[in-house]
Structure 1
Amino acid sequence: MDTDLEAYLAGPDPDPAIEAIAAVLGSLTRVESGADYMAIYTSTNGALVVTPSEDGYFSFYLRGCTLWNSDVEFGRFLSQTVSRKVRCDPTSTFPEINPYSDIFLEIENGSEAFVNWVSLEECPAGDA
């Protein structure tokens, strides 16, 4: 399926997830580091952009022909493969979730829960 997917992986090191994605998509070649914090990889099946995100997570943005049909499928794969917490947009799989909300699906150790993910930087003073 040709699609755009994104999931957020917790932890200090994105390399295990990059290796897991390469095992599925085929060899990934690092083509650019747009800045100190961004890495862009390509394969014959698509492109992967990895950047640090909120609260100690890394954003994995994948575009191209993949085995995953949704952010949730991609997130489940990452969590299961690297045994770490993953957050993703649930709206393609759970249409009852408002796509404009701050609700994310958090996946860890085979368990899933909806979380309200608002960065502390976005909270007004005194609300955090």
Structure 2
Amino acid sequence: MHRAELRDRHNNEKRELLDEQRQTRAQVRSDATKQGKSPELALSLWAYHAAIQREALQKRQAAERKAMTAMLPHSEVWRKWLESQAKKGDEAALRIASQKYGGKVDITGSSEFRERATREATRLGIRVLNGDLQ
């Protein structure tokens, strides 16, 4: 499960609990009035139990987030995201260079970068002018 999926699930759970509590609150008030009890007292007791439910949900969700962070630390997520953004940037740069220079590009930089960029260019069908990389 990804962080975004977990966040969406947590938001849905929170929304469902709040909707359920809203309906229960109205029911508690009307039941207290029908039974001749104090609506304020009934709502106070209901509010106490509702707060306990919200706190339990928050604690459970916090534990799930902590477990996910233990499995996949933020730094790892950041590194993966950064790598994907860099790959998108490399691809965009190769496409622009290909359009600008007639489908052929000359790649410069470190040997690791040239290898990676050449593989990407080949995948995109762009001709690389560097003889040592082909």
TM-score by length of 1: 0.22
RCO (CA 8 Å, sep 6+): is it higher in 1 or 2? Answer: 1
Greater helix share, structure number: 2
Higher percent of residues as strand = 1
Higher-Rg member (1/2): 2
TM-score, normalised to structure 2, is 0.21
